Homo-oligomer: A and B are copies of this chain.
Amino acid sequence: MTGLERLSLNQMTTKNWSVAEAVDGCVRAGVPAIGLWREPVAETGLAAVAKLVADAGLRVSSLCRGGFLTTGEPAALDDNRRAIDEAATLGAPCLVLVVGGLPPGSKDLPGARQRVLDALAELAPYAGERGVRLGLEALHPMYCADRAVLSTLRQALDWAERFPAAQVGVVVDTFHLWWDPEVFAQIGRAGERIAAYQVCDFLTPLPADVLLGRGMMGDGHVDFRPFTEAVHAAGYRGDIEVELFNADVWATPGDEVLATMKRRFAELVV
């Protein structure tokens, strides 16, 4: 056993590949699972993507992403219901939610957080009925203003535990959580709530666009194996996604990226 049987390519890692190219790349590299994003899925067509991954024998580890629920606009709920439907069609066990930042001009952080909870109460049963679990992703606190008012695993669990575990889980992403002094205790608390496990390194200096500081494992500061051991001890046996947002990686041919990814994954993650 090499550990590679649980490796999943999150397609953002090879952003310049279409879904079909990413599926083919996974097959060539022997990567058994893929994490999909809604926008490229829509470009190819939902049914066509479902057929592509099924024909290739790949698992869909997650669909990214729903969320952006902090404005309280009904359209956001509609869009998230569509995302849940798409996840169900694709056989993705988890729809990753990036909950949204402060609404433009607002400084009401508690209010924004409350609106996410209100929206989850609407969406959780809808997801559960379709066999999709909502995965609350705590984003690094540097994104609190503009991406996600959900910033720690503790906070994600406080929210998730208001709902049945089959409806709402949490995403453990090393880039977002590695700094947290209580992250391992919270992973232990999470147990069956862990809906997805994503690995990615934290680079310094952060690039000018801080969204792109997500580096290949081994290029940054994260010690991965304690995370893998903690999610394993908590009972997680699902796929492990590699999800990078990185201009240098995107400029590298996809097959090379997958070769590096496989090597680093085996060396550093599992």
Contacts and interface: CB of A to CB of B under 8 A. Distances in A.
Interface of A: 102, 107-109, 113, 140-142, 144-146, 149, 151-152, 154-155, 158, 178-182, 202, 204-206, 208-210, 220-223
Q: Is the interface of A mostly helix, strand, loop or mixed?
A: loop
A145 B221 CA distance: 7
Contacts of A158: 181
B107 A141 contact: no
A142 B141 contact: yes
B204 A179 contact: no
A227 to B, nearest CB: 11
Contact of A108 (B144, B145, B223): B223
Contact of A141 (B113, B140, B220): B140
A172 to B, nearest CB: 16
A174 to B, nearest CB: 11
A167 to B, nearest CB: 22
B144 A179 contact: yes
24 contacts: A107-B221, A107-B222, A107-B223, A109-B178, A109-B179, A141-B142, A142-B206, A142-B210, A144-B179, A145-B179, A145-B204, A145-B220, A146-B205, A149-B179, A151-B179, A152-B180, A152-B181, A154-B181, A154-B182, A155-B181, A155-B182, A158-B181, A205-B209, A208-B208
